[in-house]
Amino acid sequence: MNKPKSRHLLLTIYLLFIIVLNTGMFIFMVMNNIQIFFLIISLLNIVFPIALFMWKKWAFWGQLCNSIIIASYNIYIGTEIVSIFIGLSGIIVLFGLLHIGKDRKAWPQLV
C-alpha cells in the first residue's frame, strides 16, 4: 500500500509565505502598470510554489530557472552582487527545505 505523501512543516510554511508574498507583489505590479516581462516572472513565482504543493518536481526546476533569469537581469542592470546573492538565497533555502525531514523529506516524493 502506498504511504500518503507528507512534507515538513517548515517547507509548508515557506511555500505559503512565498505564495502570499509573491501574490501581493503581483497585485502591486498589475496596479502600477509594470512591464509584462516582470508580470510574467511574478506570476511564475506564484505558480511554481503552488505546483510544489501538488508534488511536481518540474516546479522546483522552474523556480530555479526563474531565479537565474532574475539574477541575470539584475547583473545586466548593474545591481550590487550582494543583492543578487540575497535574491538567489531563496532557491537555496527551498532546496534545503525540500531535503529536510527523514520520512517526510519532500524531494523524493516529488513526481
CA–CA dist 106, 84 (Å, integer): 27
pLDDT at 102: 84
**Mean of pLDDT values over 28-56:** 94
Full-model pTM: 0.91
**Residue 1: pLDDT over 70:** no
Please write the tens of the pLDDT for every residue from 11-35.
Answer: 999 999 999 999 999 999 999 988 9
CA–CA dist 1, 72 (Å, integer): 45
pLDDT at 104: 86
CA–CA dist 80, 97 (Å, integer): 27
pLDDT exceeding 90 applies to what percent of the chain? Answer: 88
pLDDT at 96: 96
